[in-house]
Amino acid sequence: MEKTWWKESVVYQIYPRSFCDSNGDGIGDLNGITQKMDYLKELGIDVIWLSPVYESPNDDNGYDISNYQGIMKEFGTMEDFDRMLHAAHERSIRIVMDLVVNHTSDEHPWFMESRSSKDSPYRDYYIWKEAKDGKAPNNWGSCFGGSAWKYDPATDMYFLHMFSQKQPDLNWENPQVRKEVFDMMDWWCQKGIDGFRMDVISMISKDQAFPDGEIKETGYGDYGPYVCNGPRVHEYLQEMNQIVLSKYDLLTVGECAGVTIEEAKKYANLDGSELNMIFQFEHMDLDGGETFKWNEKKIRLTELKATLTKWQNELYDKAWNSLYWCNHDQPRIVSRLGNDSKQYREVSAKMLATCLHMMQGTPYIYQGEELGMTNVPFPTLDEFRDIESINAYHEYTQSGQIAKADMFRYLCYKSRDNARTPMQWDDTKHAGFTTGTPWIMVNPNYQHINAREQVAREDSVFHYYQKLIKLRKQHDVILYGTYQLLLPDDPNLYVYTRTLGEEQLLVICNFTDQEQTFPLPSDWRPEHINLLIGNYFTNKPAEPTIPLLPYEARVYYQTTVQ
């Protein structure tokens, strides 16, 4: 397999609004990121993925862009951006920008022009349709609730918005739209950025018949078959690749809702014709249900293993995987798959990290994950800021599908705001995030979960992540080895091997709060194997049957060359 830097990198995602506030306005900013560059260097990451920093009215925290070549005022200026880029590059850290081009803000000049008249040269930059039988053009529901169409009285037509009403979808059928997007991307590449994370890129091509979808529990039709991995998406990405991406040395990762393995092999083909890798959602959606993600279900380990194993094996040598548990759209993993009690938070956070980072693909760490940050005890609905969560609360409770008290608990468990509370830097007021009033509440546990304490303590979650990142640089088997799942039906243990030439890893993870045992397979002789990393022990001779403590993780190494 061809070796490239983006296969060998570890990416750290920054959600700028919640990372570090340098000027006391309660909102994180670019100078704050620059100040923390040494922290990131110490952690050992190679690449930063920056969630959007562009001008935006913030209906969806920057995922609604009104100027792709300007910086959001709260975050600073273009000079601040350049300084941050320079500070990163000085430390050999690359910067990947979020590219949000399925939609813009309704305050983007293109949309303001577009909505002004049917004859505007910008009219076809967006998707406009006449009413059907006095109602919306079709029955699609938007991802943030309600219809995906909004009526605009100025021209007596509807426009499509797959997300909020302030996020109108761009019309990728229009070559002029594609040209504008590619020119803008080129402008950023010329500036020296190192790649793009492409927001909902699997949704840019819509079935031009715009058919009604199958009615779902929400009362709206399912847009999935007509929007996700639509008819021309690969053509568009190949065009983007030829015109922009192939001219630079970039990391590209596409966020691909509803992607299948077969589609993934096209998006992230190792022939380099489209993107380097994609984010798939299958393992994160395993606890979804009739009311979308709003429930308290636990993911079954056997299903998790089956799903991740499928992605590991089927993409091997054909396409590249990205590995993640967390991002700005997911609740905290230690509260979801681990155990965030005082007793087990640290070991279970380390176990989850081990399980993911020893797999094949490029790992992504979301800010605070390296500290084992947890979900947030939101006291009331007023503390939530996320448009998706707030809309969902009203939609599901007003329709009577979910009782208010239940929905509030589901929000506390699954809301994206769990990931968006401020980064916990130290035990001073507001966790050292700001000297002002934070835009969203700080998790009260910052007094014992914070970066200062963990950087100073050798056995912290922070140092464990640091070790995992280092190991990736030392052993090619972690990067390029094949993957094999053992014990697929075991409900408690996640065990797999990685193999590359003479090198082999055995990864054993206990996902429970009970002690377990694992009998070593016959080709793993205790006297021939070494513990590479573990979350309880740093040095522990293997025994024919390995006893595992609650949430214990061990990685054994063997080489056939003695």
Can residue 125 be called a binding residue for ligand NOJ (CB under 6 A)? no
Beta carbon of residue 200, minimum distance to ligand NOJ (angstroms, whole number): 5
User: According to CB under 6 A, which residues from 157 to 196 bind ligand NOJ?
Assistant: 163
What is each CA distance from 296 to 98, 287, 466, in whole angstroms? 30, 8, 32
Q: Pick between residue 163 and residue 446 the one whose CB is nearest to ligand NOJ.
A: 163
Q: What are the structure tokens assigned to 334, written together?
A: 């230690």
Q: Pick between residue 126 and residue 163 the one whose CB is nearest to ligand NOJ.
A: 163
Contact 254, 202 (CB under 8 A): yes
- DSSP label of 169: B
Question: Residues binding ligand NOJ: what is the number (CB under 6 A)?
Answer: 9
Question: x/- contact string, 314-353, with ligand NOJ (CB under 6 A)?
Answer: --------------xx------------------------
- Which positions ≥6 away from 271 have C-beta within 8 Å? none
Q: Pick between residue 257 and residue 373 the one whose CB is nearest to ligand NOJ.
A: 257
Q: Pick between residue 141 and residue 534 the one whose CB is nearest to ligand NOJ.
A: 141
Beta carbon of residue 305, minimum distance to ligand NOJ (angstroms, whole number): 26
User: According to CB under 6 A, which residues from 468 to 527 bind ligand NOJ?
Assistant: none
Q: How far is 560 from 320, CA to CA, in rounded Å?
A: 27
- Binding test (CB under 6 A) with ligand NOJ, winner from 199, 274, 395, 417: 199
Contact 281, 320 (CB under 8 A): no
Q: In DSSP terms, which residues pair with 196 in a beta bridge?
A: 97, 252
Q: In DSSP terms, which residues pair with 67 in a beta bridge?
A: 55
Residue 467 CB coordination number (10 Å): 18
Question: x/- contact string, 64-103, with ligand NOJ (CB under 6 A)?
Answer: ------------------------------------x---
Q: Pick between residue 255 and residue 369 the one whose CB is nearest to ligand NOJ.
A: 255
| Annotation marks residue 303 as catalytic | no
| Annotation marks residue 42 as catalytic | no
Q: Pick between residue 106 and residue 329 the one whose CB is nearest to ligand NOJ.
A: 329
Q: How far is 275 from 396, CA to CA, in rounded Å?
A: 37
Q: Pick between residue 46 and residue 329 the one whose CB is nearest to ligand NOJ.
A: 329
Torsions phi, psi for 482 (to 5 deg): -75, 165
Q: Which of 60, 199, 369, 395 is catalytic?
A: 199
Beta carbon of residue 119, minimum distance to ligand NOJ (angstroms, whole number): 29
Can residue 21 be called a binding residue for ligand NOJ (CB under 6 A)? no
Can residue 60 be called a binding residue for ligand NOJ (CB under 6 A)? yes
| DSSP per-residue string spanning 128-140 | EE--BTTB-SS-B
Torsions phi, psi for 308 (to 5 deg): -65, -35
Nearest residue to ligand NOJ on Cβ basis: 63
Beta carbon of residue 364, minimum distance to ligand NOJ (angstroms, whole number): 12
First-last CA distance in the chain: 26
Q: What angle do CA 301, 303, 306 make, to 5 degrees?
A: 110
- Binding test (CB under 6 A) with ligand NOJ, winner from 50, 200, 264, 352: 200
What is each CA distance from 507 to 348, 479, 497, 510, 513, in whole angstroms? 15, 14, 6, 10, 18
Q: Which residues have a catalytic role annotated?
A: 199, 255
Binding site for ligand NOJ (CB under 6 A): 60, 63, 100, 163, 199-200, 255, 328-329
